[in-house]
Each structure stands twice: as structure tokens, then as C-alpha cells.
Structure 1
Amino acid sequence: MEKYNIDKIRADFPILKREVNGKPLVYLDNGATTQKPNAVINSIAHYYTDMNSNVHRGVHYLSQISTDAFEVTRKKLQSFINAPEDKQVIITKGTTDSINLVATCYGRAFIHAGDEIIISAMEHHSNIVPWQMLCDEKGCKIRVIPMNDKGELDMDAYQNLINERTKLVAVTYVSNALGTINPVKEIISIAHKHGAVVLIDAAQAVQHIQVDVQDLDVDFLVFSGHKMYGPTGVGVLYGKEDLLNAMPPYQGGGDMIKEVTFEKTTYNELPFKFEAGTPNIEAGICLNEAIDYINSIGLKNIEAYEHELLEYALEKLSQIPGMKFIGTADQKCSVISFIIEGTHPYDVGVILDKLGIAVRTGHHCAQPVMDRFGIPGTIRASLALYNTKEEIDILVAGIQRAVNMLV
């Protein structure tokens, strides 16, 4: 790959220059949210100082330029995931909102009593609870693809679970708790052979690996802006056009209508049918800068760099006495989840924080994963394009210090 200029990249993220508890910040909680480059930060100020206006509604100049900028992001997202048309890109509040949209709209129209929904044993709560709510309402059933001790899905079990009653399969592309990269293309192909539609949660994927919705032949794909160096409060739902057209809208209000009378309302065309009310305009516009930033480095370069960093981290961490990795899949990216014999994850996390090291501890909104491994939680170090081997060394030294204090 071309030379990966990590110093230049780190200089783009002002928060990486700050100290925490008198120590240089080592930010390894990127699975929760990523830090923002100057391009994104500056674009937020630019929106409010030069463009601020509501979108899709006004004939005046500011409304027009805000609308144009908002729609540029939609087109940029279309290209980013290789969607056939930009109208298939629905701007939402985030991954959770996107999943709930599908559960509500597709579920309301096409899921019935006795139907089955398949999810996996490694899902984030956001890809469990909406389907449970739907099943409670509709009288349908959830079935779960199990995983092995390495944190890999049992594909033979999946083949046995899916049947003519299966109407939808919803799985994560990359596990936020384990880092496992799931064989989603195979999962989608098997589901389609049984007439089921597939939703892929790509919240932990799009910032690390190339995602192509046409190559995957996925029916729905969802992700969040804040995990890909963009603002919070904005996300994406991609859907196949025929499915989106067939689904009733999620919410009623402004922008999602074509004509309203007291007797009847007709709905707007895609994508606006699913975008009721004033959106998070600032975040939608500024997400464009995050996409440009990722593209400027190149996802292939990012993937190669992060993989090298992951391998380095696993090697160094494995030398710590009592270290046990949770999630050792052959195909893995971005996330290292572990426990240390004789310690509680929370206690280790608190000591690391005193050293300026930000990691996540707990069940990571994936409590069934922890139950599968018989543990209350893990310590999770999640990587991004700006992390370094030097930071990994600091993490290792910090954990060793925590072990010396706790064991």
C-alpha cells in the first residue's frame, strides 16, 4: 500500500493532542464512537455561520444551499456503499433508528403470526430488542444462530434454522463485542434461497472495510455517522427500492407527505417518505466531510493499517499473565475484547483511565454474548485509523500496572 502517514492523520484530530489525568490521551474506545477530524469540526461551524436554514422547504437562498448540501451527502453515501440510486439512501438518526424503522415498517406490513425472524448470538441489543418487540406484537418467533468458542457463527446451524417460515434475517457484519467479521454474503445468499429478506447491521464495518450493497445483494443495510468520524445523531438505512416502496412510512409529519387533507394523506416519494420532520441538518451535511476524509485515505489502506495494528496488539497483549481473549475468530477486525484472571473488567478500566487510556468495560450492549461465555463483561480496546503501535505499548504497560495492583 501507499505510505500510511500516521503523523499527518493524527494531526487532523485535535482531541488526540489533549491530556487526561495529566497523561497523553490514548483513545481506544472507537467501537463506541470515533473522534472527529478538523474537516468535520470546521464544517459544523461553517453550517451554522454561513448556511443555517431548514431543508427541502424554502425557495430562499439559504434553504436552497442547505438542501443542496444535505442532498450531496446522500449522493456521497450512495457512492460509499455502491447503492444503485440515491433515493434508496434514507437519512436516519443512527443505526438503532434505522433498525427500528425496518422492524416497524417492514414488520407491520410483511411479518405475521407464526412467522420467524433469525438473528445471531452476537447481536448488539439494537438488533435484538426491536425484533422482540415486533414478535410480541405480531405473535412471531425469534430464532438465534449460535456461535462457537472462537466467536464465529455456526453456519451449519443457520442452515438448519432457516425454513419456509423465515421472513427476515438480521445479523451484524462485524461484532461490536468480539470483532468477528461474519460471512454476510453467504448468510444473505442462503436467506434469499428461502425467500427471506436480510438486514445487515454495518455500524462496526463501514469505517473499517469496503461495503458494497450490490455485491452483497443485501435487502437492508444500516450504519451510523458517529462511528465513521462523523457527527452523532445521523445514520443511514439503505434498502432495495421495491421493498422501500412497499413499506408504509415510519412516522407522519412534514416532508414525508405529498398531499394532506382531513380525509386522506398521500405520501411522498423515496427517500422522503421515511424522513418525517426536520432532520439533523447539521449532522447530515457534515457527514459528507467524514466520507471525504475516509475516501482521502482509502478504505483499503485503512483496512491494511488497522489489520497490522490488530495483529501487533494481539501479540503484545497475549504476553500479559492471566490474559484471555474473548473472540478469536479467524476473520476479525478492529475489536480486542478480553478479561484478565483475578480482576474485574471495571477495576482495570478505572486504573487505565487514571493513566489516560480510554477503553470500554462491561457487556457492550451485547449481554447475550457475555452470557454465552459465562462472564459479566470484558475489557474492550477498539481501534481506529489514527491509533498507533506506541499507543498499544502504553495500553500493555497500563494493563500490567493494573494487574500488579489488583492481583
Structure 2
Amino acid sequence: MTAVLSAPSAVGHQSVDAGIVDHDHPARPVIPGLAPVVGADVSVPLAHGGTTRYVNLDYAASAPALSSVAAAVAEGLGEYASVHRGAGHLSQVTTARYEAARETVREFVRGRVDDAVVFTRNTTDAINLAAHITPGDVVVLDIEHHANLLPWCAPRDGRNRARVVPACDTIEDTLVALEAELESAPASLLAVTAASNVTGEVLPIGRLASIAHRHGARILVDAAQLVAHRPVSIVSHGIDYLAFSGHKAYAPFGAGVLIGRRDWFDAADPYLAGGGATADVDLGPRAGGVTWHTGAARHEAGSPNVLGAVSIAQACRALADLGPEAIGLHELRLSERLDQGLAAVDGVRPLRVFTDSTDRVGIAGFTVDGIAPRVVAEYLSARHGIGVRDGRFCAHPLLRRLGHPAGAVRASFGAGTTSEDIDRLLDALRALTAETIREELDEG
């Protein structure tokens, strides 16, 4: 897997769709799905009667499970038992699967050999754990998802340790602003989201890591919207801590992961107090008190989400097998088709944070003039069987900044998405705007 975070290129790949033609639109090639996903053939009812194949364009919220991941979960269920400390055969098998999942995840994101890999409930939980172990001030942008904003804003030692930097109109100016803030006073951490969950725009993580390290800070990367779409290398990019969720990377169950340098994990008090985090507990009159484990176990008290960890590991293997170039090219072609189509629909306004961004994962945020985002989403669902997301996407400051405090619409896609899915969305939006225009004429 390449360690370079860059926009995919279609150069040299023109033969992939050769011979595949959309007969309804001969000028446009058919783009098949990259990998089979569970639920691809689900039918849903329509408001005017009948059913249609569901078009899932809500991958950024929860991506459908890859079929290979579902198969791995089914296999794991057949031998499922409690992990750790069990002498029984199935407990040993399940424990081995759970611990092997750590190594699979570490290898997928090219972690350091001695990095701790802690399984959590989701990205939000992972970043809250990161906030728990981080010892000092944290620099963040004002455009972050709430998961990478609110944990840092929570008071600690009687004060707010988050130093929020307003993003600029360009990525380049934003990097300058972040460096100026880090230079102004010591900070322990720079926390950034690698890819926006509102616009899909990708930040230059390697450059951000260099800026942080130059000023004595570490960097945490919220990669929830990145790992399923772009190659990530903790080592090559200089990342100190990385957080992501399985459910945005084609793995079911509520599980996430925080990977990073072991010293902060070992120095902090356990994230949860309970069984599994302790090496010894002695509460007698001459008690030694509680001796806590070090490493991942220190912060994983209680029975873990074994199937969640197994599913994340299998998703990592499946994504590695697909390859970052194939994934990037698939999304590039779908993005180009969607962008060109949206630009041709009257009243549709794409969202962008930066004027100089050149790379975007499979996310397109937009608004429709004169129509509330919820109305757009409900229309697409009820009339066309298309699932998109509407609202403020747990990024309220960013939506206000973009001039849409009431929210927007987001279409997001991935490995199971086809050109037919994109075309159905575009056809539906054209129908929506045409109906709105006709209604306005009738009312006039």
C-alpha cells in the first residue's frame, strides 16, 4: 500500500470500462460496483405505490457491510466465546481472533511496531479516549466534526484547553494559521479531521504532522471518513494517533479503534475501571491496592466487542486486497459523474470549505435553492427510493460558516456504488427542481 495521500488519477486506467456502455445514455460508460456489499438488492416501497431497488448514498453515515466481512462475522459467530482468561477451546480461538485483529488493523494503517491498538465503541469514543490521555493543550480547527471538537472543549483541570483556530478560505492559509497558533504557545496535540464529513475534502496530513512536530506537538488524525477511501500510513505521514470506526469502513457492529504511541496510554489513568484492565487487586488491610495493566488492556475494561473487532480486521484485509488505486479510481469516476450532473441541475449548490482543495473522498454536500434539506431527502426517499443524509452532520459550526445554519444534503458513496446509483440521484433531482418550477408557475 502506498503511503501517499493524493488525489487518484485516471491516467493509464482508461481500459477498465472499455466495452461497457449505458444503452440509455450511450455517451456515458457504465461504472459497476467495486465490491459486493450486503443489501445491494434490497427493495423499498415508494409513496405512489410499488417498490424499487434502494439506492444507498449514505455511506458517510454507515457504509454497508462488504459481503466478505459479513462472511467473516458469520464464521466468527460459529466459534464465538468470551475472550481472555478462558481455558476452553472456543475461548482460546476467539481470544486469538481478537488479538490478531489488532495486528491486522495496525498493519493496514502502517502503524509502528510498538503502537498501542485500542478497540473502542466508535470514532467518538476513540477521540474521547485520546482526550483522556492527552496531557496538555490541544489545537483544533473550527470546521471539525463534533467528535473531534467537543472532547477537547470539555474543561480539564479547571480550564478549557482547546485552542480553536478558524479555518481560512484556502488550505494553504489554514496551514499558516495553524502553524502560527502552535508557535504562539506550547501545545501537546494538533487534532485534525483528515477528510470532511460534509464536503469530503482531504487535508494534507503529512504536512500537518510536520507542522505539529516542528513546534513540539503530536498530531491526532480523525480518519473516520478517510481509511475506506485513501491509503494511510502512520509511519510515513508522521501520525502519532489515528482514530476511525468500523461502521464507516464496511464493517458492521459498533466498534472503533485508537492507534498510537504507547507512552501516553501507559501514563494515563485507565479510561474505564473494571475487569480486564487490572493486573492485580488487593484491598486487604495491608493492601497493595490496584495494579493496572499497561498498553491496550489498560483502557479496555469489561467484555470487548469481539465481533466488532473481527469485522474491522476483515474490512481492513478486504480494502487492502481491493487496493488504494482501484478504490481511488472508482470514486474519482463516480465523483466526476456526480459533479458534472449536479452542475447541470438548476438550483443545486455544491458545498466547499476551501477554494484550493484538489482531492475529495466519495462525499458531496449540496443545497437546493428554495427547498429545505429535509424536504429534499424525504422526496428522494419517498418518490425515488434513494437514501441520502440531511441536516448539519454533527458539524454545526462548519454549516454556519458555509452559510447554511439549517443544514444541507449529503450524498456519499463507495465500493458498492454504481453509475446507475449516481444517475438515479441526478434524475431525481432534475425531477424535483422541475416539479418545483411547475408549482411556482401554477401558483403565479
- Distance verdict in 2 for CA 1:31–1:341, change over 3 Å: same
Q: CA deviation at 1:46?
A: 2.6
Q: How does 1:323-342 map to 2 (within 5 A)?
A: 323-327=348-352, 329-342=357-370
Paired residues of 1:75 and 1:86 also in contact (CA < 8 A): no
Q: How does 1:158-177 map to 2 (within 5 A)?
A: 158-162=178-182, 163-177=184-198
Q: How does 1:191-206 map to 2 (within 5 A)?
A: 191-206=212-227
Q: For 2:39, give the aligned amino acid.
A: I
Q: CA deviation at 1:9?
A: 4.4
Q: How far apart, in 1, do the equivalents of 2:125 and 2:113 lie?
A: 21
Counterpart selection for 2:199 from 139, 162, 178:
178
Q: What is residue 243 of structure 1 aligned with on the other side?
A: 264
What's the secondary structure of 1:222's corresponding residue? Answer: strand
Unaligned runs of 5+ in 2: 1-12, 18-29, 46-50, 438-444
Q: How does 1:374-393 map to 2 (within 5 A)?
A: 374-375=403-404, 376-393=406-423
Counterpart selection for 1:35 from 64, 67, 70:
64
After superposition, the C-alpha distances for 1:321-345 in whole angstroms (9 at most, x for unaligned) are: 1121111632222110001111111
Q: What is residue 313 of structure 1 aligned with on the other side?
A: 338
Counterpart selection for 2:165 from 130, 145, 152:
145
Q: How far apart, in 1, do the equivalents of 2:199 and 2:315 lie?
A: 25
After superposition, the C-alpha distances for 1:9-41 in whole angstroms (9 at most, x for unaligned) are: 45x323110112211111110000100122222
Q: How does 1:4-403 map to 2 (within 5 A)?
A: 7=32, 9=34, 12-21=36-45, 22-48=51-77, 50-85=78-113, 88-106=116-134, 110-111=135-136, 116-135=137-156, 137-149=157-169, 154-162=174-182, 163-262=184-283, 263=287, 264-327=289-352, 329-354=357-382, 355-375=384-404, 376-403=406-433
After superposition, the C-alpha distances for 1:68-125 in whole angstroms (9 at most, x for unaligned) are: 111121111011011122652111111111100111222xxx22xxxx4211122111
What's the secondary structure of 2:40's corresponding residue? Answer: helix
Q: How far apart, in 2, do the equivalents of 1:374 and 1:72 lie?
A: 46
- Distance verdict in 2 for CA 1:6–1:258, change over 3 Å: farther
Paired residues of 2:59 and 2:248 also in contact (CA < 8 A): yes
Q: How far apart, in 2, do the equivalents of 1:87 and 1:196 lie?
A: 18
Q: CA deviation at 1:6?
A: 6.5
Of 201-210 and 308-317, the range deviating more from structure 2: 308-317
Paired residues of 1:164 and 1:194 also in contact (CA < 8 A): no
Of 324-333 and 354-363, the range deviating more from structure 2: 324-333
- Total equivalences in the alignment: 397
Of 162-171 and 304-313, the range deviating more from structure 2: 162-171
Q: CA deviation at 1:42?
A: 2.8
Q: For 2:362, give the aligned amino acid.
A: S
- Distance verdict in 2 for CA 1:269–1:159, change over 3 Å: closer
Q: How far apart, in 2, do the equivalents of 1:95 and 1:172 lie?
A: 11
Q: How far apart, in 2, do the equivalents of 1:87 and 1:68 lie?
A: 19
Q: CA deviation at 1:3?
A: 4.5
Q: CA deviation at 1:401?
A: 1.5
- In the superposition, the TM-score normalised over structure 1's length comes to 0.92
Q: For 2:344, give the aligned amino acid.
A: Q
Unaligned runs of 5+ in 1: none
- In the superposition, the TM-score normalised over structure 2's length comes to 0.85
Q: How far apart, in 1, do the equivalents of 2:16 and 2:41 lie?
A: 23
Q: Which has the larger radius of gyration?
A: 2
